[in-house]
């Protein structure tokens, strides 16, 4: 069963894992950076799943805006690009301690921010699954 899901669209399989990790981590208020990282990874992989499904090649990148720009050439999914850009930026900030040390003010996302990004990632998952493989949504 697992191999069949991976063969259909490996990006969906791994995007779902990142989303589930974020859903589990959100219960610990000290792990907001990890929640946001998993949300970014999930959104990135769901965008790549969409491109994969359409057979549109994409380069190795973590830049969510670049990925969405490729998608928009075929269809505008009406994704909030401000949230997309912020999540893309937080990916870097949450992963590299040297970058975090250079930030002003609060260095990690608040609990409310983490919850907001989790909701955003969940919405991206639903949108992509509905668009490309409705049957995959029932299997996940």
Taking only the tens of pLDDT, the chain with its 140 residues reads 566 666 778 999 999 999 999 999 999 999 988 999 999 999 999 999 999 999 999 989 899 999 999 999 998 899 999 999 988 887 655 455 555 444 445 567 889 999 999 999 999 999 999 998 655 444 44
At residue 96, φ and ψ (nearest 5 deg) are -115, 105
- Please answer whether residues 21 and 38 qualify as being in contact, where contact means their C-beta atoms are separated by less than 8 angstroms: yes
Q: What is the C-alpha separation between 58 and 46, in angstroms, rounded?
A: 13
Q: Give the predicted TM-score (pTM) of the model.
A: 0.84
Q: Which of 20, 33, 24 is nearest to 114 (CA)?
A: 33
Q: Can you give the pLDDT at residue 137?
A: 43
Q: Can you give the pLDDT at residue 3?
A: 65
Q: Can you give the pLDDT at residue 125?
A: 96
Q: Which of 17, 56, 39 is nearest to 94 (CA)?
A: 39
Residues 6+ apart with CB under 8 A from 121: 19, 22, 38, 39, 40, 42, 43, 46, 87
Q: Can you give the pLDDT at residue 27?
A: 95
Q: What is the C-alpha separation between 99 and 85, in angstroms, rounded?
A: 17
């Amino acid at each position: 069963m697992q191999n069949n899901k991976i063969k259909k669209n490996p990006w969906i399989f791994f995007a779902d894992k990142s989303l589930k990790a974020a859903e589990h981590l959100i219960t610990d208020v000290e792990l907001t950076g990890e929640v946001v990282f998993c949300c970014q990874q999930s959104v990135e992989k769901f965008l790549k799943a969409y491109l994969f499904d359409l057979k549109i090649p994409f380069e190795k990148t973590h830049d969510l805006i670049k990925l969405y720009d490729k998608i928009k050439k075929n269809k505008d999914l009406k994704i909030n690009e401000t949230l997309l850009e912020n999540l893309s930026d937080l990916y870097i900030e949450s992963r590299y301690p040297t970058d975090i040390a250079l930030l002003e003010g609060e260095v990690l996302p608040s609990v409310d921010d983490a919850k907001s990004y989790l909701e955003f990632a969940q919405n991206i998952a639903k949108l992509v699954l509905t668009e490309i493989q409705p049957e995959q949504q029932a299997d996940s």
